[in-house]
Structure formats: structure tokens, C-alpha cells
Chain A
Amino acid sequence: DTEVTQTPKHLVMGMTNKKSLKCEQHMGHRAMYWYKQKAKKPPELMFVYSYEKLSINESVPSRFSPECPNSSLLNLHLHALQPEDSALYLCASSDSQRPTQYFGPGTRLTVL
């Protein structure tokens, strides 16, 4: 089983809203990732959690706040986003011993 699930599939929010994206995996992976992808571009790394601790923050604005409640769950809290933050947000996970990352289906976010 190489499934990573993400909810919601689509999200439309105003610039003053607060919302959260959720990601779950049951592969026993200890590394989890958030990526942002714009059309016709490769995924852009935002955050990495390793053993439930934030290990990489790629200079992401504070309006994006990650959280890892346990080894299977990853959240991305959104607040005061800008229209340019509209993108496909992808969650991925990997075994800490292997580089292969498995991606979820993504959340299509539109900020109005």
C-alpha cells in the first residue's frame, strides 16, 4: 500500500479566512513533506517533517503553518493567504532510509 490521502480535494478561501489542509499515510513512513505546485512547474518543497519534528522550512511565509500531530498525520494551517498562493498543495511521505517519496492527490487551493 503506497497511499497518501489528502483532504479536501478542492478549497476556495478568501484572504481573511483560516483553513487547514490534512494529509494522512499509513505506510509507517517517518518523513512527511508539504509541496506547492504551480501549473507547468515541478513541485516546490515547503516543509519537511522527520520523526514528527520539523527539519526543513524552505523560507515559507508565516501565513503557512505546518503541524505534525503524529507519525501518520500532517496538517498545513492557512491564514491570511494571498491570491498568488493559489496552487496545488501536495503532501508526500517517505521511508527515512529511502529517497522515494509517495505523493497524495493534492488539494487544489484557490484564494480569492
Chain B
Amino acid sequence: DQQVKQNSPSLSVQEGRISILNCDYTNSMFDYFLWYKKYPAEGPTFLISISSIKDKNEDGRFTVFLNKSAKHLSLHIVPSQPGDSAVYFCAASDHQLIWGAGTKLIIKP
């Protein structure tokens, strides 16, 4: 039973536009959420996180929004750049990290 779901396996966005990656979770006890970016054959790179006591966290081009009532979070990247093309994983903290399946983001020139 997947506790963290990323329902879009892939997403294609025009360079310069906004990329929105979505993540849903089922366990209301999760208190911290993270986004990681991963290039092929490399380790995941931590991008941004959010505590469950907040509804928004921003870091440069990256913003994470948390909607606790809907058990939904999203990562906004604006403007999207070619180097953003990668697989993005959402993870929730429950003593350990519970991972979503990932969304492959493709930025088109």
C-alpha cells in the first residue's frame, strides 16, 4: 500500500514556463516532506522541504506548497530551465523516508 503517491510518471514543460509536480499521501502522521531531484546514475539531490506546520516554503525558483486537509503537496519550479530535466521524488518523513515513485520532468527548449 503506497503511502506516498506521485501519479504522473512524466511531465513535459516548455522552457521558461512553470513546472508543477504533484504528490499525495495517505498518512496524516507525516510531519515533514521533502523533494529530491535525481539525474540518471547519480544520487538524489535534496531540493526543498516543508514542515507540516507550514503551508508554503520557497527557495529561489522552487516553491513547495502543502495542503494538509487534502493530503497533497506540490513543487513549483519557475521559470523552468533545461537543467531541471530530471526525475523528481517526493518523500515523507515517518522516522524514515517514505518515497513516491517519482516523476520524470522534461523541459523542452
Contacts and interface: CB of A to CB of B under 8 A. Distances in A.
B8 to A, nearest CB: 14
Contacts, number: 47
B97 interface: yes
A66 interface: no
A9 to B, nearest CB: 9
Contact of B49 (A2, A45, A92, A100): A100
For the side of the interface on B, what is the size category? 20 to 34
Interface stretch (B13-21, B59-67, B78-86, B98-106): B98-106
B102 A40 contact: yes
B1 interface: no
Interface in A32-86: 40-43, 45, 48, 56
15 contacts: A2-B46, A40-B87, A41-B101, A42-B100, A43-B44, A43-B89, A88-B41, A99-B97, A100-B34, A102-B46, A103-B43, A104-B43, A106-B42, A106-B43, A108-B41
